[in-house]
């Protein structure tokens, strides 16, 4: 297990997302590059569908500090 500083409902989403990433990482050794690449959109959709995911990308390209709302 790992430390989750967020907690609550948002913490549950973070934990689920991390579990999905771990699963994908393990599966990446068992599938071809093409199969792995086909899995990327579904994984990324869940990550960047949240406000914080979008804010992180926005701030990165704007070279600004991200203003996360944990939502």
pLDDT in tens, 1-51: 445 555 566 667 777 778 877 887 888 788 888 888 887 787 777 777 778
Backbone region of residue 9 per phi and psi (left: phi > 0; alpha: psi in -120 to 50; beta: other values): alpha
Domain assignment present for 67: no
Does residue 55 form part of some domain? yes
pLDDT for res 34: 87
The band of 63, judged by pLDDT with boundaries at 50, 70 and 90, is very high
Q: Does some domain include residue 24? A: yes
Whether 35 is in a domain gets the answer yes
Range of the domain at 48: 8-62
Q: How many domains, in total, are found in the chain?
A: 1
Assess if residue 71 is contained within a domain.
no
CA distance 4 to 17: 12
Put simply, whether the predicted model's pTM sits higher than 0.75 gets the answer no
Q: Is residue 2 part of a domain?
A: no
């Amino acid at each position: 297990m790992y430390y989750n500083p967020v907690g609550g409902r948002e913490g549950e989403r973070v934990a689920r997302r991390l579990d999905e990433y771990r699963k994908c990482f393990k599966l990446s050794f068992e599938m071809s590059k093409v199969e792995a690449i086909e899995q990327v959109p579904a994984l990324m959709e869940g990550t960047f569908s949240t406000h914080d995911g979008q804010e992180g990308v926005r701030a990165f390209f704007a070279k600004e500090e991200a203003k996360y709302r944990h939502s």
